[in-house]
Copies of this chain bind each other. A is one copy, B any other.
């Protein structure tokens, strides 16, 4: 009889920051009963995923083991943890467990996909626990930047595992429960086998600051501004939205929320009672009748997104409101690597309007929602796990986190997406690798990262596209000359002749020379015409384009 084992495997979120999806299993090898922790998304970019709408983990491995899945546990309501539930749920089919606020957000996502009610089970916080198969799971409140963020305490026949979720050590967190040292000590008491731990800020050497420390500097800043103040942050950073709104109110301003995500998040917060002391807000219409110096707008688009409120305000009107010389625009957020250009574009648009921009340079108006290096050490020391498996980080973060654990005398292992780790014994043992990757939501369909579809788009963007059409008649003779259409290529070549003319001339010459055998052989003809087009383009404009050939045989 094969021995039962306890396994951990990330399918997303380890080796990257984003699209978190972690699997725990207990049972005989490949017969394990499974739970899934988080089902998040990450966002596309023009460099690697042009035209893609959303990116989620490839869950083929889980789908093939659908019957083994006992439940899906969502730690908190950020998109990189909950964003894929609507898109992926049908392929997994297990109940979703979450606390009230997270459950509200998850349910909205399932509703959007017209999935039935009742999939999401709302559960209470630690010490409440949910039994699913061989696991008992409890949501232990932990401070982050959105209400009801939780770590998971997962009890198994092989002992207790703690999954930190996203966290910081904040004892005055503005929203959500404060970090509770006593509760975590109590959780640690029976002994913890493994800590799966957030690694985002392992390179930040100084202990993190509390969200509450931002209020006074913000009130001071906002009160000092002569005209309208606009502040942007992630809508999902509800802590910051609330901090900003309260600071605005204290500075004597009326608060306006702009951007769908901003209004939705605050709505969900109020609906579930987790945002009870949020200042009252006024509508954009009402705001137009107030003096500018009495207004503070809280807007979406802190990452420079082209269609969000920040970008729109930087270029013109948004819901009747517009910016003027003397207004102030505050970025109360970090720029995620890759988004710098978009943010800078907005800053320059604002500069053109005479709007003063304040960003996070001084660290006065933003704190991170993740634990810095000393705070990670604090958690290690409280939990005292037998082993640490870093998660929620790129490879460099995971590796550094293992080093940090070693400094504290705790064994650890770097486990990137697809790495199956056996944590049954005293040391983590890598026991397998699963092919993983990314699934793209592309328009309304899901496509695979390696399907070649996005690769073809990138190639067209880099190289341009030539379409060649030719007709071959019933007697296997060319009917007329081949002709070309180009997209994304210079119209004139090096001799100031139209590129299309040169291509058609070269193709005609080739066809006239070609032997019957080639003309009869689709593959050979395809290969030769492609070669002619690419060589001509290289000569004329120095580029080798993508080529689509359409040979119509009238037979």
- Write the residues of chain A forming the contact surface with B, with a CB cutoff of 8 angstroms: 15, 45-47, 50-51, 203, 337-338, 340-341, 344, 347-348, 350-352, 354, 357, 361, 394-396, 399, 442-445, 447, 451, 453-454, 456-458, 460-465, 467, 469, 471, 479-480, 483, 485, 487-494, 538, 540-543, 546, 548, 550, 552, 554
B394, A344: Cβ atoms closer than 8 Å: yes
Known: A445-B540, A457-B488. 9 other contacts (CB 8 A): A50-B462, A337-B344, A351-B394, A444-B543, A453-B490, A460-B465, A471-B471, A485-B550, A550-B550
B341, A341: Cβ atoms closer than 8 Å: no
A542–B446 Cα gap in the complex (Å)? 11
- CB of A428 to closest CB in B, whole Å: 18
8 closest Cβ contacts across the A-B interface? A444-B542, A443-B542, A461-B461, A457-B488, A443-B543, A337-B340, A50-B461, A351-B396
Question: Number of copies of this chain in the oligomer?
Answer: 2
Q: Which chain B residues lie closer than 8 Å to A456 at the CB level? A: 487-488
B348, A394: Cβ atoms closer than 8 Å: yes
A444, B341: Cβ atoms closer than 8 Å: no
A546, B396: Cβ atoms closer than 8 Å: no
Q: Which chain B residues lie closer than 8 Å to A487 at the CB level? A: 456-457, 460, 465, 546, 548
Give A47's nearest chain B residue, CB to CB: B46
A442, B51: Cβ atoms closer than 8 Å: no
B543, A51: Cβ atoms closer than 8 Å: yes
Give A347's nearest chain B residue, CB to CB: B396
- CB of A334 to closest CB in B, whole Å: 12
A445, B542: Cβ atoms closer than 8 Å: yes
The A contact surface, by secondary structure, is mixed
A457–B454 Cα gap in the complex (Å)? 13
Give A550's nearest chain B residue, CB to CB: B469
Q: Which chain B residues lie closer than 8 Å to A493 at the CB level? A: 445
Q: Which of A340, A460, A480, A489 has the most CB of B within 10 A?
A: A460
List 26 contacting pairs A-B, 8 Å CB cutoff, sorted by A.
A45-B341, A50-B462, A203-B361, A337-B340, A337-B341, A348-B395, A348-B396, A350-B396, A442-B541, A445-B494, A447-B490, A451-B490, A453-B464, A453-B488, A453-B490, A453-B491, A454-B488, A457-B460, A457-B462, A457-B487, A460-B488, A465-B465, A467-B467, A471-B552, A485-B550, A550-B550
A488, B338: Cβ atoms closer than 8 Å: no
Q: Which chain B residues lie closer than 8 Å to A51 at the CB level? A: 461-464, 488, 543
Give A444's nearest chain B residue, CB to CB: B542
Q: Which chain B residues lie closer than 8 Å to A350 at the CB level? A: 396
B552, A399: Cβ atoms closer than 8 Å: no
B464, A457: Cβ atoms closer than 8 Å: yes
A543–B203 Cα gap in the complex (Å)? 41
A288–B361 Cα gap in the complex (Å)? 44
Give A343's nearest chain B residue, CB to CB: B337
Give A462's nearest chain B residue, CB to CB: B51
B361, B492, B552: the one contacting A445 at CB < 8 Å is B492
- CB of A438 to closest CB in B, whole Å: 15
Q: Which chain B residues lie closer than 8 Å to A395 at the CB level? A: 348, 351-352
A51–B461 Cα gap in the complex (Å)? 6
B461, A457: Cβ atoms closer than 8 Å: yes
Q: Which chain B residues lie closer than 8 Å to A465 at the CB level? A: 460, 465, 487
- CB of A171 to closest CB in B, whole Å: 27
Q: Which chain B residues lie closer than 8 Å to A444 at the CB level? A: 494, 541-543
